Amino acid sequence: MIFFIDENISPSAAHMLDIFEQKHQVRACLDYFEQGTADTDWMQTIMSWGENETTVAVCGDGRILKNKAEKRVLKECQLMFVYLARGWTNLEWPVFGWKIIKVWPDIVKNVEQVHCPMVFEVAVGGLKVRASGRISDL
């Protein structure tokens, strides 16, 4: 499985997760794309990364789900989509760092347990991962 961390999440967090994650790859957006690359562009590119494995987009917020064009591309690409709920991007780095490490095993477990592309929301308060629907239903 390949976890792609979008640019709304610090590349430092992605690199930390890559070291922490022993079973799957974690890739930072800014290691592959220029800052400001349209979400529709990187989604179409990372879709091809997982020919033999699942590619999971992990985003700093769920605005992709509200933008018609981005939602359409996400649905076409059939990517697994995990987004951090409101409040995550406002955390100071030390708090963000320990929280993302603490919830990461639950993110991975939830993604591994499903057999079709899903949307997952990660709450900042209780560090809960919640499935919020199938990508095909967007």
117 in Cβ contact with 134 (< 8 Å):
yes
**25-69: per-residue pLDDT in tens?**
999 999 999 999 999 999 999 998 877 789 999 999 899 999 999
Buried b (16+ CB within 10 A) or exposed e, 89-123: eeeeeeebbebbeebbeebbebbeeeeebbbbbbe
- CA distance linking residue 56 with residue 5, whole number of Å: 9
Angle between helix 68-77 and 39-46 (nearest 10): 0
CA 78, 12, 84, 104 dihedral sign is positive
Output DSSP code: residue 85.
P
In 3D space, the residue among 73, 3, 11, 66 whose CA is nearest the CA of residue 38 turns out to be: 73
- Determine the pLDDT at residue 82: 98
In 3-state terms, what secondary structure has residue 8?
Answer: coil
Residue 95: partners with Cβ closer than 8 Å, 6 or more residues away: none
114 vs 69: CA distance, rounded Å? 25
Q: Which helix H or strand E contains 47, and what residues bound it?
A: none
The answer to whether residue 23 scores a pLDDT higher than 90 is yes
pLDDT score of 61: 84
Residues 90-137 pLDDT 10s: 999 999 999 999 999 999 999 999 999 999 999 999 999 999 999 999
Name the pLDDT band for 22 (thresholds 50, 70, 90): very high
